[in-house]
Amino acid sequence: MDVGSVTGMTVIVALLGVLVVGLLTYMSALVRRAYELKVELHNEIERGLKRIDEDLDAKNRRLKREVQDDIAKSKDAIRQDNERRHEETISLVDGTLDAFREQLQTTTAEQNKVIEDLRARQATLKREISHVNAALQRAGVAPAPAPAPAPAETVARSSEAK
């Protein structure tokens, strides 16, 4: 091997060494850049997820407020409706009660009038019976025994005694 071939081989090996070192440096730069991209992408994804979480939390809070407002409005509407129905029921019951009271007063007044008429008639009949008995005694005829009181007279007498 002569000097030229040794030099040529040395140059080739040196060139191959430089090429391998350059290739290794290039590959290491590519790997480092890929890692940096991965870290950047990971950070970007984390920021995006954090922003999405914040947006979702804000929307969730807003929806909760809206639902609570709707629930409060519904409760107020139900309470007002219940109050209205309660007032309607009270007025209906009061009206029915007033009608029953008026009917009771009318019926009681009619019954009292009938009772007074019957008492007046009873008093008239008693006077007539006394006159007839007196006339029979003057004529010398013995009066008939008084009949047993009817159940209605017993009730009337017991109410008079009270």
* Residue 22 covered by a domain: yes
Do the domain assignments include residue 146? no
CA distances from 85 to 70, 71, 77, 80, 91 (A): 22, 21, 12, 9, 10
Domains in the chain: how many in total? 1
Tell me the pLDDT band of 77, cut-offs 50, 70 and 90. very high
With a cut of 70, say whether residue 160 has pLDDT above it. Answer: no
Q: Is 105 inside a domain boundary? A: no
Averaged pLDDT of the chain: 89
Give 157's pLDDT tier (boundaries 50, 70, 90): low
Whether residue 79 is contained in a domain is answered as: yes
Residue 158: predicted pLDDT: 56
For the segment 22-73, what is each residue's pLDDT rounded down to a tens digit?
A: 999 999 999 999 999 999 999 999 999 999 999 999 999 999 999 999 999 9
Residue 145 falls inside a structural domain:
no
Torsion angle of alpha carbons 65, 66, 72, 78, nearest 10°?
A: -160
- Mean pLDDT in residue range 121-142: 89
Would residue 89 count as lying in a domain? yes
Higher pLDDT pick, 127 / 159: 127
Residue 27 lies in a domain: yes
Within a domain: 17: yes
